[in-house]
Amino acid sequence: MTAELTIDPSDGAICIGGQLRLVASQEKTGIETLASEWLGGSRDLHNSYEWLQLRGLTFGKQPAGASLCLHEHRLISAHWGVSLPGAAMEEGWPTQQAINQEIKFVRRVLTAMFRMELTDGAFSFPWGTVWSRFDPKGFSASHGVSYRKS
């Protein structure tokens, strides 16, 4: 089963399938219970940070995966990637053209979702930031939401 990933502009909640809402500072146990059918694994960095992987998602109706970042067992950010059909690859990695297409696609979806344009690749809100831009260090598209400490 797949479910659409969206971000609620009012509070930055990560919404899955129009029913599940994951909110800033939500505890890991609650996330694991609510999102159990999409959990694909976790990675504990043993420094009070942990990542939960979500699978079976779509973003803008395209296949997507997401990672939730937890600090001290509470949600602080989410990052996602989209698999566009026909994206050009070189030795198993997306080309610059494929990366640019993914960023353009995600920005178009976010612009519709938030009803405002990402002029510098990010939106800032009182609750946090949503971004979609090129990450030169990782040579990849980077999309996500991070929450301000309350």
- The model's confidence at residue 150, banded by pLDDT at 50, 70 and 90, is low
Q: Which of 21-25, 75-79, 91-95 has the lowest mean pLDDT?
A: 91-95
- The model's confidence at residue 119, banded by pLDDT at 50, 70 and 90, is confident
Query: What pLDDT is stored for residue 22 in this prediction?
Result: 97
Query: What pLDDT is stored for residue 1 in this prediction?
Result: 76
Query: What pLDDT is stored for residue 118 in this prediction?
Result: 81
**Residue 83 domain boundaries:** 3-147
- The model's confidence at residue 64, banded by pLDDT at 50, 70 and 90, is very high
Say if residue 38's pLDDT is above 70: yes
Tokens of 14: 């990560």
Taking CA atoms, 44 is separated from 64, 66, 133, in Å, by 22, 16, 26
Rg (alpha carbons) of the chain, rounded to whole number: 15
Q: Are residues 129 and 146 in contact, defined by beta-carbon separation less than 8 angstroms?
A: yes
**Could you tell me which residues come within 8 angstroms of residue 124 by beta carbon, excluding any fewer than 6 positions away?**
none
Q: What percent of the chain has pLDDT over 90?
A: 91
Say if residue 149's pLDDT is above 90: no
Total domains present in the chain: 1
* Average pLDDT score, the chain: 95
